[in-house]
Amino acid sequence: MNKYEFTFLLKEEKDEEIVKKLLASLGVTIANEKKWGKRSLAYPINKLTSLFFFTWTIEHEKAKMKELKQKLDFMDNVERFLILKEDEA
């Protein structure tokens, strides 16, 4: 399994549980969670000026990352997300 840094922005803090359920259904392991809280945005996203920021370290198979990204794209709760592969040093 590969490690990834998963950063995402939500309208409501309670929507974090929906993201957790999605990851669990795909067999993703959450190694570390960091909540940044509600932050103001430099520019509006879908007419929103502040969102809740989260950064998690997740473990998942590279072959199944496409499926995860597709499901996140269709979630209305997730405004933006970024998944970066961590270096294996």
| 0.85 exceeded by pTM | yes
Q: Nearest 10 degrees: CA dihedral of 72, 82, 17, 61?
A: 70
* pLDDT score of 6 more than 90: yes
CA distance 69 to 13: 20
Residue 15 in contact with residue 75, Cβ under 8 Å?
no
Highest CATH level, class, for 2-85 = alpha beta
- DSSP character string of 25-69: HTT-EEEEEEEEEEEEEEEEETTEEEEEEEEEEEEE-GGGHHHHH
* pLDDT score of 88 more than 80: no
Higher local confidence (pLDDT), 3 or 1: 3
* Domain range summary for the chain, segments of one domain joined by +: 2-85
pLDDT in tens, 8-62: 999 999 999 999 999 999 999 999 999 999 999 999 999 999 999 999 999 999 8
Please, what is the average pLDDT of the chain? 94
